[in-house]
Structures are given as structure tokens and as C-alpha cells.
Amino acid sequence: MNTLTKLKSNLAIDLSFSEHKITIFIEDGREISIPLEWFPKLRSASLEELNNWRFIGNGEGIHWADLDEDLLVSELIS
């Protein structure tokens, strides 16, 4: 018997950083933590640069203007 419910959203609603990872909070309650090491521009960015982000596509992606970096949430969780 499969008890997993169908996930309803891949839209991000918030994100945070620790020393070595980014945590993305998804609309359906999931939290995805990913090593900053995977993203060279993010890994070498200052905390000020990391915190200068905005959602694109109503949470489908994240954009850092200072770093010229974009991440698609669906690519991170598939």
C-alpha cells in the first residue's frame, strides 16, 4: 500500500543559508537542504551577496543579481 500523497507544489516560499548549505522552504511544507559546494558562485559569495536574492516565477526559481546566478527549484528536488 502506497501512503505517499501527491506533492502539490514545487514553489519556494523562503530560503536560508548556513555556513555550508542553502535551505529552501517549499510551499507544501518540504525543506530542501543543498550544499553550497555544488554551486561555485554561491560557494564563494559573501553573506551579503547570498542574501541579495529574489524569487522568479512566483517561487519557481531563485535569482541572485549580484552573482548572475539562477536556480530552478524543480531541478533541485527532482
Choose among 60, 14, 10: nearest CA to 22. 14
The enclosing domain of 45 has a CATH number of: 3.30.2020.40
**pLDDT in the model for residue 76:** 87
pTM: 0.84
**pLDDT in the model for residue 3:** 59
Answer yes or no: is 53 within a domain: yes
> Domain range spanning residue 44?
12-77
Answer yes or no: is 5 within a domain: no
**pLDDT in the model for residue 71:** 95
Question: Within its chain, how far is the Cα of 63 from the centroid?
Answer: 10
Answer yes or no: is 43 within a domain: yes
Answer yes or no: is 25 within a domain: yes
Residue range 5-64, pLDDT digits in tens:
565 688 999 999 998 999 999 999 999 999 999 999 999 999 999 999 999 999 999 999
Number of domains in the chain: 1
